[in-house]
Structure 1
């Protein structure tokens, strides 16, 4: 039977409290809690959190702001002409996340239009006191039915990185190991299930210890801790990134070495 080091949240900080400004880059190997399902008080020993842009950063902890930058959030309203459509005119939907539709970043004009929406969200993250931003779904071209390319993603990423840096935020490369060698300006990486897919080396080669590895299986987590637990941030989360009082909640970090 697999044994996880599960850390239950304590009362270390008020999840609505503003963070102090300028806490610097992702601390290499630090304990980071991935709180995308909703903010909650970090456990004792947690040094950083990742939270949705609609939540507040954690007081006195490194805090990253999650933004869905290449796809829509369910229920979010986007101009129809910025959504990707197939030959039949239907919106292209993420097959794994119903209600999330891909943004059309296939031309320079559309990329600038997407930036005009996402850029102010980055500004809001900075104004709230976040230290970094995590633009999600950089790899949307892999789900685009051939309508988008890796070059489209890279061109969009350069715009987003520049805008985030202008706001004083570090920027994460979220997944897409194919782009780690493209010198897109990212400051660190967030890699989901990279142990499962045997992709972790692509991130550590590019970013060294500035990697947040999120594993969603016991097996991937345990192997990640064995191989990299002392050099990068590794967290085990449930796929729904639930809050502690929600069914299915799982959060664990590597034992100290």
Structure 2
């Protein structure tokens, strides 16, 4: 059931954003933040009933759809848990969808119910994203996977630049770190050299299909995991390279249900 964020809460979030640090300020260090290392096996499930039985050390699940109890259960099973969120696109079914002004909502990104956000408007988006990251922290997640982090390279309806994207991505990383959460850079291959120092790991889709996996090597060189998925290729077509690069690679269906095939 869809439920709008109360108007008063939205107003308070916006007010909080007015007193936040600059978007470019680095996050203060927090002891004990998780740092996933190259080669960790993982499961990525964003649809269907959560299957907690896959014997891997890392799970990546939907931050809204999954409960604190589900996160705690995975922790009891010895898993680290990543909170999936969309930070660069508006989704019409999320409980806070009504808190986003129409002026920051742009063109569709190719998925039903999703539209790009005007990431230049950090005055609006900072408090909304901070509230989402609060949710991840409060549910006990170890890390966050912020999605749609490359709007500047797409037809968003806004004149976004590479500089706009760097500023926004660093803002999301700082907000996550302030809450003790590790944070991954999703796709955005062109900006890896500038952002590898700001993020704790990478999440990539289809680098093997597009012959781009070598571009993720700065994360591996920095001792940071690359969680990688292919949809169209058989494992024999990408696993040898993935193993050479020390990526954490799996084959999934587009719906990201429980099924997986690992290298």
Query: TM-score, normalising length from structure 2?
Result: 0.75
Please list every run of 5 or more consecutive structure 2 residues that lacks an aligned counterpart in the other structure: 1-31
Structure 1 segments, 4+ long, off by >6 Å, are none
Q: Is the 8 A contact 1:161 1:171 kept in 2?
A: yes
Distance 1:120-1:241 versus aligned 2 partners, 3 A rule: same
Partners of 1:240 and 1:30 in 2: CA distance: 22
Q: Equivalent of 2:55, from 45, 49, 56?
A: 45
5 Å matches for 1:171-190? 171-183=183-195, 185-190=198-203
Partners of 1:156 and 1:125 in 2: CA distance: 19
Q: Does 1:111 align with 2:122?
A: yes
The equivalent of 1:240 in structure 2 is 255
- CA-atom RMSD, angstroms? 2.0
**SS of equivalent residue, structure 1 residue 130:** coil
Q: Does 1:30 align with 2:44?
A: no
**SS of equivalent residue, structure 2 residue 171:** helix
Distance 1:161-1:225 versus aligned 2 partners, 3 A rule: same
Distance 1:113-1:27 versus aligned 2 partners, 3 A rule: same
Partners of 1:23 and 1:161 in 2: CA distance: 13
The equivalent of 2:148 in structure 1 is 137
Partners of 2:54 and 2:44 in 1: CA distance: 15
Partners of 2:35 and 2:108 in 1: CA distance: 33
The equivalent of 2:84 in structure 1 is 66
Q: Equivalent of 1:224, from 235, 238, 246?
A: 238
**SS of equivalent residue, structure 1 residue 180:** helix
Q: Equivalent of 2:133, from 122, 127, 140?
A: 122
Q: Does 1:152 align with 2:167?
A: no
Residue-pair matches, total: 215
Q: Is the 8 A contact 1:26 1:62 kept in 2?
A: no
Q: Does 1:252 align with 2:228?
A: no
Q: Is the 8 A contact 2:43 2:54 kept in 1?
A: no
Deviation at 1:242, TM superposition (A): 2.0
**SS of equivalent residue, structure 1 residue 152:** helix
Deviation at 1:23, TM superposition (A): 7.8
Partners of 1:237 and 1:44 in 2: CA distance: 14
Partners of 1:64 and 1:190 in 2: CA distance: 11
Q: Equivalent of 1:80, from 102, 110, 113?
A: 102
Which one has the bigger helix percentage?
2
Please list every run of 5 or more consecutive structure 1 residues that lacks an aligned counterpart in the other structure: 1-21, 85-91, 244-249
Deviation at 1:93, TM superposition (A): 1.1
Q: Does 1:163 align with 2:175?
A: yes
Query: TM-score, normalising length from structure 1?
Result: 0.77
The equivalent of 1:98 in structure 2 is 112
Distance 1:187-1:33 versus aligned 2 partners, 3 A rule: same
Deviation at 1:44, TM superposition (A): 4.5
Partners of 1:200 and 1:238 in 2: CA distance: 20
